[in-house]
Amino acid sequence: MQQTPDQSAVRVKCAVRRIRTARCPLPTAHCRRAVSLVELLIALAIGSAMLLATAVALDAVVRASAINVDVADGLMKSRLAVTRMLDEIRVGRDHAPVSTNAVNSFRLGSGVTDSGLTFTAADGQTVCYTYNSAAKTLSMQRGTSSAVVLARRVDSFSVQLIPTRSAEAVRVGGTYDLLTRATITLTLRPSEDAQSTTLSASVSPRQQKWD
């Protein structure tokens, strides 16, 4: 019995369906191919790379945050130190540099730049600010008490003093005994990884001994 073309096509479709059913007993929509070893290795490599990049970025953020905290802390302490110096110089008297050569030049009327400053505070105690270039510290000593470190990581510190004479010194032809203006310049590195920052300010004493 001769088959028509339509019957032959139906037979072919049935044969294909039986083959597919034999390979995947579940319906075609639920038949999935398993993940190969190569695909699994590629997925693991991509995941590892993403985790590594995340760890590096997190470490950079933590380091940057720590540096910012150190910088902010160093700048705050340095500004407080400079502000304290300005306030005490403003109400003090008998200002003078600390080194001998600078003291002699100051008494002769020359403006001097020194690494420290001494004066009598409003409470009558002697106050001395000094810079230790080896330890990179700025210290303050009041009276006979021990020196207190005001700032660390100080790359440089200087005080420029401009002298003048009191009325009594002018009358008797004495030396320059008063301070007209003091300019403080402080350069520090807030942290080891930060850039240097320079703070500068000037002040004139209010209490002068005019006789």
In tens, the pLDDT along 83-97 reads: 889 999 999 989 999
Strand 137-142 vs strand 197-203: parallel, antiparallel, or unpaired?
unpaired
Written as one string, the DSSP assignment of 18-70 is HHHHHH-SS-GGG--PPPPHHHHHHHHHHHHHHHHHHHHHHHHHHHHHHHHHH
Question: Which H or E run includes 186?
Answer: strand 178-188
Q: What is the pTM of this model?
A: 0.66
pLDDT for 40-70, tens place per residue?
888 888 988 899 888 888 888 888 777 777 7
**33 or 43, which is more confident?**
43
Which tokens go with 85? 């110096």
d(CA 142, CA 80) in angstroms, rounded, equals 17
Please name which of 162, 137, 152 lies closest in space to residue 191, comparing C-alpha atoms: 152
Strand partners, 161: 112, 182
* Distance set, CA 12 to CA 6, 15, 17, 110 (Å): 10, 5, 9, 115
**What are the residue ranges spanned by the domains of the chain?**
56-203
| pLDDT tens-digit map of 109-164 | 999 999 999 999 988 999 999 999 999 999 999 988 899 998 888 999 999 999 99
* pLDDT tens digits, 35-47: 788 888 888 889 8
pLDDT of residue 31 exceeding 60, the answer is no
User: Residue 98 — pLDDT band, cuts 50, 70, 90?
Assistant: very high
Q: What average pLDDT does the chain have?
A: 82
pLDDT of residue 109: 92
pLDDT reported for residue 110 = 93
Q: 160-192, pLDDT tens digit by residue? A: 999 999 888 888 988 998 999 999 999 988 777
